[in-house]
Structure 1
Amino acid sequence: MQGGEDRAKKVLVLGASGGIGGETARQLRDAGWQVVALKRGLVAAHELRDGIHWLRGDALNAADVAAAARECGVLVHAVNPPGYRDWDRVVLPMLEHSIAAARAEGATLVLPGTVYNFGPDAFPLLREDSPQRPLTRKGAIRVEMERRLRMACETGLRVLIVRAGDFFGPKAGNNWFSQGLVKPGRPVATISNPGAPGVGHQWAYLPDVARTLVELLARRDGLPAFASFHMAGHWDASGREMAEAIQRVVARHGGTPPRIVALPWWLLNLASPFVATLREMREMRYLWQRPVRMDNSRLVAALGQEPHTPLEEAVEAALRGQGCLPPRTAGRNMASSTFAGTSP
C-alpha cells in the first residue's frame, strides 16, 4: 500500500477517452495527481502516454475496475456507453462496479451530473435540492444512479457530484455544440440553433467543469459525505448568444459569418428510429423549449468563485478543437481564464 499522501493524490478516471473524463484526467495530471485510466483494446496491458497511466480493461468488468482502482484515493466515474447505445443494460452495472471499487479503497467517487434528472416541475431555476422527476428514460437512469450513490454514502462511501449545462469544448464528444450547432471537421457555414426563439439555455465549457472538479477535490475532506454542486456556466439568455458568438469567432478568423437557422427537428424525428444519437437528442428537446438555469450559490460558497472562461475564448477553443477553424497563426495566444462568482 502506498503512503497516505501518495494515495490521496492517485485517481482512477473511467471514461478518460471521452469529453469530461479526458479533460478531468488532464487537469488532475497537471495539478500533480497520479492519473490511472482504463481503456479497452490496448495492445499492452499498460501504457504511459502523456503522463497518464493507461490500463487495459473494461468498466463493465468488475475485476478490471477493482484492479485499476487499487490504492486510489479518488475514482472519477465519467464513463458512458459509446454512441448512447445500451443505456438500459450497462449504465447501472458500470456504476455498481465503481461503487464497489471506491468502497474497497475508501476512495471518493466523483460523478459529473446532468440536467436530465429534472422535469419541467423543477424549472426554471435548478438547485441541488430541486425535485428530480424526469420525463425521459435516460433521465430516470440518471436519477437512479444518484439514488444508489446516496444509499452507498449511508455505508461509508464519499461522493462528489458536479452538475453543469450542455457541454462544449475543444475535445468534447457527443454534445449539442459539436453534433447540433456545427459540423466537426468543416468550416462553419451554417449554425443550426436547437432552441425556441427567446428561450434561455445553459452551457458548460468542459475545461471549466474539470477545473471545478479539481478544486473541489482539493477540498474534499471538508465536504459532506454526499456533496452535490451546480455550476452556472454560460447562460445564453436569448437562446442566440452561443450562435452569435460562433459567428463573431468565425468572422474574426477571416470567414464569412455563418447563417443561424433553426435546427430541423422534423429531420431528427424522421431519422431517430435508425440513429441512436439522434433519438437521444430528440428525447431531450424539452430542455430547449423553456429556460433551464442552475443556481451556483453552494459552489460559490465552497470555492469563493466559479471557474469561468469568457464565452468567445471558449467558443474559439471549441471550434478549433472540432477542426472548424484554420490553423492558429504564430504568436497568437488566448487569454487566461477568469472567474465568475455571481449566482443566477
Structure 2
Amino acid sequence: MSKGNITVLGINGHIGHHAAVAFNAAGFTVRGFGRTNRQPIPGVEFVKGDASRLDDVTAAIAQADIVVNALNLPYDKWDKGRAEAQLATVIAAMGNSGKTLMFPGNVYNYAASDRRMTPHTPQVPQTPRGAIRVRQEEMLAAASRAGKFQTIIVRAGDFYGPHSTGDWFDQAMLMDIGKGRVLHLADLDLAHAWAYLPDLGRAFAVLGAQRDTLDAFENFHFAGHFVTNRQMMDAVIKGWGAPLQVAPMPWLALRAMGLVNGVMREIVKMRYLWNNPMELVDSRLDALLGADFATPFDAAVAATLGERLQTRRAA
C-alpha cells in the first residue's frame, strides 16, 4: 500500500532525481515532472510539462500529497525576478491546498563570516544570488503562515553522487582527472560542506513521511560531510585507485572565461563559499534521521567515482 502521492517538479535535476528514487524506495507513489524523461526511474511515472506554465504545474501536482520543488533555472538566469517568478508559479499551483511543499535550500542565504549555521542563524546574504534565495524562502514562509500549504526547507551543501554531472565536484574538481590530476578549490586545510545526493534524497523522504508531526513552515539543515579540501583530495585518490596529482583550481583562468561566458562569470562570484568554512548544523534533523544515517565519506566518494572508473577500465 502506498504511503502517499509525491510529485517531483524538476525530475531531471540533482535533487529531483535522487528525491524521486528515495521516495519510491520508501513506498510512496511518485510522479516526476519535466520537459523530458532523461533519467527514467523504474516505478516512477513521468509527466511531461513546462514549469513556466501554471496549468501544466497545477495538473502535475493535482493528486500529490507532497510536492518536491526541485526546479532550478540555469545559473546565469536567476536575476531580473526570474527565479522568484518560477517559484511564484509553483505557489500559485499549490493554492490553498494544504499540501506539503518541500524546497531545497543552500548556504547562499548566509554571510561569508558565518561558521556554524543552524536553522535559527540570521540570514544575511553575501551576494545578490543569496538575496534571491532569501526572497524565495520568504515567499514560501508567507504562504505557509497564511495557511495555504506546509513548507519544509531542506538546506544542504554542494552536491556529489553517482551519475551526477554539472556540479562543482564533477565539473571543477574532476575536470582534469582524465589527465591524472584532481583540483582543490581553496586552501587544503579549509573545510567545506558537501551533500551526498543519495543521502540527501533519503532525508527528503524521511521528513516527508513525518510531515504530519511538523509545523507549517520548517527549515532543516542537512549536515552531510563537512570535510577539509585535503580530506576530499585524499578520498578521491583512494577511490580512484591510482596516483593523482593534486593541484589548485586556476581561478584566474576561470575569471578570464567569465568575460565571455555568463555561467562561468556567476560561478566565479561564488568563490567566497570555498574560502570560508561554512558548516550546516541541525541537532533536530540529526535526531530525526537517526544515528549512522549518512553514508561513510570515503564510501560516498568512491561511489561517486564509480562511473568514471568503469570508463577508465574499459578504455
TM-score w.r.t. length of structure 2:
0.92
Classify the secondary structure of the residue corresponding to 2:95: helix
Match of 2:105 in 1: 113
How far apart in 1 are the matches of 2:163 and 2:157? Answer: 16
Alpha-carbon displacement from aligned partner over 1:276-305 (angstroms, at most 9, x marks no partner): 332232111111112111112121233333
What amino acid sits opposite 2:54 in the alignment?
Answer: A
User: Does the 8 Å CA contact 2:21/2:41 hold for their aligned counterparts?
Assistant: no
Gaps of 5+ in 1: 43-47, 330-344
* Residues 1:21 and 2:38 aligned together: no
Within the alignment, does 1:124 sit opposite 2:110 as a pair? no
1:243 corresponding residue in structure 2 = 233
Q: Secondary structure at the match of 2:119?
A: coil
Question: Which runs of structure 2 are paired with 1:69-88 in the superposition (5 Å)?
Answer: 69-82=61-74, 84-88=75-79
What letter is aligned with 2:236?
Answer: I
Greater mean alpha carbon deviation, residues 260-269 or residues 196-205: 196-205
Whole-Å separation in 2 of the counterparts to 1:10 and 1:188: 46
1:78 is aligned with what amino acid?
A: A
Residue 216 of structure 1, CA deviation: 0.9
Are 2:107 and 2:157, in contact at CA under 8 Å, matched by a contact in 1?
A: yes
Paired position in structure 1 for 2:288: 302
Tell me the CA shift for residue 149 of structure 1: 0.6
Q: Partners in 1 of 2:144 and 2:276 — Cα distance?
A: 34
Maintained 8 Å contact 2:145/2:217: no
Deviation at 1:306, TM superposition (A): 6.5
Which one has more relative contact order, counting CA pairs under 8 Å at least 6 apart?
2
Pairing of 1:1-344 with structure 2 (within 5 A):
9-40=4-35, 50-82=42-74, 84-88=75-79, 89-121=81-113, 123-156=114-147, 157-183=149-175, 187=178, 189-236=180-227, 238-251=228-241, 255=242, 257-305=243-291, 307-321=293-307, 323-326=308-311
Distance 1:124 1:49 in 2: 38
**1:13–1:36: 8 Å Cα contact kept in structure 2?**
yes
Equivalent-residue separation in structure 1 for 2:48 and 2:250 (angstroms): 41
| Distance of aligned partners of 1:18 and 1:269 in 2 relative to their CA distance in 1, 3 Å threshold | same
Contact 2:116–2:280 (8 Å) recurs in 1: yes
Distance 1:300 1:41 in 2: 35
- Unaligned segments of structure 2, at least 5 residues: none
CA contact (8 A) 2:220 2:282 kept: yes
Segments of 4+ moved more than 4 angstroms: 324-329
* TM-score normalised over the length of structure 1: 0.84
Give the share of equivalent positions with the same residue, in percent. Answer: 36
Within 1, Cα distance between the matches of 2:233 and 2:270?
19
